[in-house]
Amino acid sequence: GCLMYHFGNAINMAEMMSHVPENLIAMGNVDPAGEFRNGTAESVYNRTKEVMSECCKYKNFVISSGCDIPPMSPWDNINAFFKAVEDFYA
């Protein structure tokens, strides 16, 4: 009965999207620890655009982190995520 699924980074988001019914929203899945916390602004940017390139063909996909953003994640990394989203849609 849920209306939305949120997937962590342990799964392949592009593969999962082919199994999610079109009437349900699916969110995911930039690695929170590996990218947001321990990555670089460049790696977060690139990974975000990669997930979007693979998954935005599905109208029910929403880009997000794979889970909560870890404490002490650099703001540059968080900003890079949003910059990638902005650039993808530009």
Beta-ladder partners of 88? none
The residue segments making up the domain with residue 41 are 4-16+23-89
The answer to whether the bond into 29 is cis (omega within 30° of 0) is yes
Q: Which helix (H) or strand (E) holds 41?
A: helix 41-55
For 60-88, what is each residue's pLDDT tens digit? Answer: 999 999 999 999 999 999 999 999 999 99
What type of residue is 32?
Answer: P
When divided into structural domains, the chain yields a total of 1
Distance CA 36, CA 25 (A): 23
What pLDDT score was predicted for residue 88? 98
What pLDDT score was predicted for residue 1? 84
The average pLDDT across 22-38 equals 97
What percent of the chain shows pLDDT beyond 70?
Answer: 100
Total-model pTM: 0.95
What percent of the chain shows pLDDT beyond 90?
Answer: 99
